[in-house]
Structure 1
Amino acid sequence: MARARSHRGWPTMTIGIIGTGHMGGMLAALLAETSGERILVFNRTREKATLVAQRHPHISVARDLSEMAEVCDTVLICTRAADGEQVVRDIGPQLVPRALLLTTISTADLAAWQRITPAVPVKMVPSLTQWVKSGAILVVYPDGADRETKRRVEQLLRPIGRPFPIADEQVRVASDLTSCGPAFWARLCSAWAHAAASTGALRPAEAAEFIRDTAVGFARLLEAGWSFDEVLDAICVPGGVTEAGLEAFAGAEEWFADLHRRTARFARGHPPETPPGN
């Protein structure tokens, strides 16, 4: 790879991140901490990039996209989909053939990007759980990606989560479970806390604390190897109160089937369905 020289005294390997919103800012902070590499960030609004650069001494602000193409061996495009298409046309042709071009744009057409850039384009779907260096990071490789490319991607991402290769057609549903998942879990827990408090037996803060502690303990059971069915079997005594409570979950599969239908419809560019009567 033609990057043997250093740039301004920086290490010979530099990671560039274009777009410093929630996802790009998170990845910049985490990779600055875990990769050991210099992180170069760029945003159309320079002030936003500067705020991210202030988080860690290994993060600096790029002068422009050309500087990023010149010094970066790995580039992450973390912009909105419409902006990302223009960014890849601007920077893609300038990248070297062995460079990695990662993107968080779930709708990115990797085959089309391969026609624009000699770099290797890879799609990734991170999650908020990466802030605690946990959870899955979905990864979609282009056709023909070699073993070395996959090794480099997984080496970069493994310190902040679990890289999980999937096919492009799996992205939408898998993203519901991983990237969108923390929001869905938070909404369920919030609704449960409000319902518990509405009984009058607990204050809202108490209900939220009990649910939070139970969620943490449940996650640790799963980390210890328990399956969902094993948890149910261990708690649900026939004829007991848990079994009675589980009757409220009748039709739960349909709730989640509707969730996946709604996100798929939105991803195809259709607005959410309007409830009857509205």
Structure 2
Amino acid sequence: MTIGIIGTGHMGGMLARAFAETSGETVYVYNRSRAKAEAVAASCPQIVVCDTIQQIAALSDAVFVCTKAIDGERVAEQVGPHLTAEQLLLTTISTVDLASWQRLTKATPIKIVPSLTQSVHKGVVLITYPDNVERAVQQAIECKLSRIGQPYVVRDADVRVCSDLTSCGPAFFAFLCQAWATAASRISGIPYAETESLVTNTLIGLAALLEQGADFGQVLEQICVPGGVTEAGLKTLGGAEEMFANLHKTTARHTHPGRTVEPLPARDGR
């Protein structure tokens, strides 16, 4: 599957490099500012700059629109008529209405939400398909994406909250860890660089435990001793669940202004 990417900003450029690094195949890129596209191409010999959107359409099996949301529909209108029913039109714009894009092209429109973690070929890539997409199409795109991360199919209604966990998630984790290291430095007098290093390496170790099959509950169970210091510390974090619930409500309101956000019952019965 030959990849073409329109828009070589942070996300488009990252995807171009990730696909080129993991497949060894040519990845075609186009950007309104050619200099930006050339800067991405300079980082990997498999990345080739195209002169026009039409050229991207002609050379690619799957075209990724990685522009700002405000430019997305305009780009889809430009590239859509040049695509066939055998091609795919993907976008990283999480607010896109796939049904409206189906009216712009014969290609199959698909929404994906990548993460910075794909730059190291880790993390989750969210995928939302339109109705009645063929299973062969799903298998093809999930196979391609599996080289740069873990594909995870979500309903359109779940894109926002899942994006908070996977795409925004690294920033939320980094913010919390930075705040923790700063507080530890302030309370103890230990230089921030050292507390940051301690938190970083602890997080790396936790990730390794999770990769080996441990879950969050097991980590808590193995570290917490009844009446111990860890248990005492955890009591100060008792409001964490509500804090994250407010986070999800805030991002939902930002994405869909004016929409009321109410919590729903968990599907696993919790």
What's the TM-score bracket when you normalise by the shorter of the two chains?
over 0.9
Counterpart CA distance in 2 for 1:201 and 1:234 is 30
Number of equivalent positions: 258
Aligned pairs (5 A) from 1:99-248: 99-248=87-236
TM-score by length of 1: 0.91
- In structure 2, give the amino acid aligned to 1:227: D
The answer to whether residue 253 in structure 2 is matched with residue 265 in structure 1 is yes
The answer to whether residue 55 in structure 2 is matched with residue 86 in structure 1 is no
SS at structure 2 position matched to 1:186: helix
After superposition, what is the alpha-carbon deviation per residue over 1:181-221, rounded to whole angstroms, capped at 9, x for unaligned? 00000000000001100113421111001100100000111
Deviates more, 1:32-41 or 1:160-169: 32-41
Moved over 4 A (4+): none
Counterpart CA distance in 2 for 1:82 and 1:269 is 16
Counterpart CA distance in 2 for 1:51 and 1:250 is 47
After superposition, what is the alpha-carbon deviation per residue over 1:125-172, rounded to whole angstroms, capped at 9, x for unaligned? 000111111111000011011111011111110011000001000000
Unaligned runs of 5+ residues in structure 2 are 259-270
Counterpart CA distance in 2 for 1:14 and 1:154 is 14
- Alignment RMSD (CA, Å): 1.0
Once the 2 structures are TM-superposed, how far is the Cα of residue 36 of structure 1 from its aligned partner?
A: 3.1
SS at structure 2 position matched to 1:183: helix
TM-score by length of 2: 0.93
Of 41, 44, 48 in structure 2, the residue corresponding to residue 56 of structure 1 is 44
Counterpart CA distance in 2 for 1:143 and 1:35 is 29
- In structure 1, give the amino acid aligned to 2:45: P
- In structure 2, give the amino acid aligned to 1:61: V
Aligned pairs (5 A) from 1:21-40: 21-40=9-28
Unaligned runs of 5+ residues in structure 1 are 1-12, 271-278
Counterpart CA distance in 1 for 2:188 and 2:240 is 26
Corresponding residue for 1:9?
none
Counterpart CA distance in 1 for 2:34 and 2:120 is 27
After superposition, what is the alpha-carbon deviation per residue over 1:232-261, rounded to whole angstroms, capped at 9, x for unaligned? 111110010001111110111110011011
Corresponding residue for 2:266?
none
- In structure 1, give the amino acid aligned to 2:129: Y
Counterpart CA distance in 1 for 2:164 and 2:151 is 16
Counterpart CA distance in 2 for 1:99 and 1:191 is 46
- In structure 1, give the amino acid aligned to 2:226: P
State the identity as a percent: 54
Of 228, 243, 251 in structure 2, the residue corresponding to residue 255 of structure 1 is 243
Counterpart CA distance in 1 for 2:189 and 2:218 is 30
